[in-house]
C-alpha cells in the first residue's frame, strides 16, 4: 500500500492529488479548498465538484485514509502526553495533502501544526448556510518529545469561510484514455506496515 502524490492537471506539477492505492481513491489537496465554505464547494467553486468530479468524503473514508497513512491515535481517550506513534505519519500526510497552520499553544508552551478539513454533511439534502458542519483535524504537538492525535470537532456553519479550514474531497481514480496504470508518481510514501513486510 502506498499514498502517491500526483497532479490534478496532467503535466503541470500542481501536486494536488494524493492517491490511496488501497482504496483507489484520489484525495484533493486541502490547500485547494482553504477559505471556501462547504456551500461554496458544493456550488462548484474551483470546479472541483463539477469539472473534476470530486465529492465530499465521509468520516469513514477519512478514517481509512488516516489508517492507510499509519495514523493510529484518535480522540482524547488517554492522558497527556499523546503518543509519538502518529507524529511521522501525520507529518507525511500533511506534506502530501497540505492544510498546515501554526498556532501558539498557551497551555503546553508548544506550537501546534493543525490540518483540518470538512467532511460530508450527515443530514439529507443540501445544508442551509447556518447548518453546523464537522471538521476532521490532525494535531501535531511540536514540543519535545513530539506527540499527536486526530479528532473531529464542530467547524461552524456551512456558509462560513475560514483560511485554516478546507474540505476533504475525493473521487475514484482517473486514468487518461488509453493509459495503463503503472504506479508512476511524483512522490510515493509507503506506510510502516509496508516497510516491515519488505
Contact indicator for 146, 85 with CB cutoff of 8 Å: no
Q: How far apart are CA 62 and CA 117, in angstroms?
A: 10
Contacts (Cβ under 8 Å, ≥6 apart) of 79: none
Q: How far apart are CA 65 and CA 134, in angstroms?
A: 17
Output the nine-digit C-alpha cell for 150: 486526530
Q: At residue 166, what are phi and psi to the nearest 5 degrees?
A: -125, -160
| Residue 17 pLDDT | 97
Q: At residue 173, what are phi and psi to the nearest 5 degrees?
A: -55, 135
Cα–Cα nearest to 136, from 150, 156, 148: 150
Contact indicator for 61, 170 with CB cutoff of 8 Å: yes
Cα–Cα nearest to 155, from 128, 103, 111, 119: 119
| Residue 140 pLDDT | 81
Q: Which domain holds residue 27?
A: 2-197
Q: At residue 189, what are phi and psi to the nearest 5 degrees?
A: -120, 115
Contact indicator for 105, 113 with CB cutoff of 8 Å: no
State the total domains in the chain. Answer: 1
| Beta-ladder partners of 115 | 100, 138
| Residue 108 pLDDT | 57
Output the nine-digit C-alpha cell for 193: 506496515
Question: Cell numbers 492537471 correspond to what residue?
Answer: 9
User: pLDDT tens string for the chain (198 positions)?
Assistant: 589 999 999 999 999 999 999 999 999 999 999 999 999 999 999 999 999 999 999 999 999 999 999 887 777 554 444 555 678 888 889 999 988 776 665 555 566 667 889 999 988 899 999 999 999 988 887 776 777 788 888 889 999 999 989 999 999 997 765 555 554 444 555 544 444 444
Cis? peptide before 81, omega within 30° of 0: yes
Amino acid at each position: 500500500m502506498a499514498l502517491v502524490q500526483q497532479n490534478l492537471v496532467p503535466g503541470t506539477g500542481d501536486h494536488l492529488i494524493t492517491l490511496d492505492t488501497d482504496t483507489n481513491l484520489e484525495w484533493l489537496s486541502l490547500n485547494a479548498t482553504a477559505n471556501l465554505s462547504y456551500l461554496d464547494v458544493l456550488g462548484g467553486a474551483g470546479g472541483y465538484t463539477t469539472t473534476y468530479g470530486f465529492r465530499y468524503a465521509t468520516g469513514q473514508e477519512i478514517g481509512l485514509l488516516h489508517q492507510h497513512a499509519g495514523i493510529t491515535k484518535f480522540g482524547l481517550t488517554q492522558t497527556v502526553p499523546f503518543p509519538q506513534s502518529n507524529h511521522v505519519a501525520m507529518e507525511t500526510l500533511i506534506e502530501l495533502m497540505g492544510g498546515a497552520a501554526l498556532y501558539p499553544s498557551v497551555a503546553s508552551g508548544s506550537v501546534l501544526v493543525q490540518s483540518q478539513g470538512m467532511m460530508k454533511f450527515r443530514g439529507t439534502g443540501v445544508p442551509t448556510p447556518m447548518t453546523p458542519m464537522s471538521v476532521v483535524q490532525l494535531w501535531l504537538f511540536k514540543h519535545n518529545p513530539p506527540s499527536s492525535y486526530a479528532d473531529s470537532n464542530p467547524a461552524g456553519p456551512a456558509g462560513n469561510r475560514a483560511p485554516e479550514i478546507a474540505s476533504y474531497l475525493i473521487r475514484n481514480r482517473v486514468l487518461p484514455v488509453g493509459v495503463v496504470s503503472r504506479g508512476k508518481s511524483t512522490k510515493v510514501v509507503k506506510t510502516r506496515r509496508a516497510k516491515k513486510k519488505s
